[in-house]
Homo-oligomer: A and B are copies of this chain.
Amino acid sequence: MQKKGLLGQLIQNLCCLPGVGPKTAQRMAFHLFQRDRNGAKLLAETLLRAIDNIGYCRQCRTLTEDVLCEICADKSRDSTIICIVESPADVWIVEQATIFKGHYFVLHGRLSPLDGMGPDELGLDLLEQSLATGTIKELILATNSTVEGEATAYFIGELARKHRVLASRIAHGVPMGGELEFIDSGTLSHAFNGRKEV
């Protein structure tokens, strides 16, 4: 049944959330109306406010409601080390998992010429300007370990070399707690090639 009316419209619009299909959207809509009208109202208002106000950090291109994001504005952080990630979500993930106290640079994608993602789309001109100032000591390349992510890391590594800045790639290998039996062969051969003396 294609239900019309506001409720039907709301259910349809909830489907724009990732991982939410019509059934989940229906459950969400009914939950909001029966149990949590205040929460729903707050959510709608925050969402509107966020859409109107959240833009990109001028320096690192992550999502923020200010000109500079919290991290770039934090004077206690080391601005000479820059971690390059593919998306704003990756910034959060690195922040939550590590003790990294440098700055970030968000590419909003990866090099993929066929999809029209070239160096300019990734803001590499902006990055190169920063590199040219000579204040940056190290780039940590934390792009994903996909073919495009690796190509992007390589490209930015070359850029760093041109400006005589150290570039490092995060380690890839067997995940902590992982058993060799369940590791794919690509990761395992990578782990062997990248072995370290103990």
Point out residues on A near B: beta carbons under 8 Å.
Answer: 1, 3-7, 9-10, 13-14, 16-19, 24, 26-34, 36-37, 39-51, 53-54, 63-65, 70, 87-89, 92, 95-96, 108
Contacts and interface: CB of A to CB of B under 8 A. Distances in A.
B14 A43 contact: yes
9 contacts: A5-B70, A6-B65, A7-B64, A10-B43, A10-B47, A27-B89, A30-B63, A32-B47, A41-B51
A44 B47 contact: yes
Contact of A5 (B6, B64, B95): B64
| Identical copies of this chain, number | 2
A3 B57 CA distance: 16
Contacts of A89: 26-27, 30
Closest 9 CB pairs of A and B: A16-B39, A44-B47, A30-B89, A13-B43, A18-B31, A44-B48, A44-B44, A6-B50, A6-B65
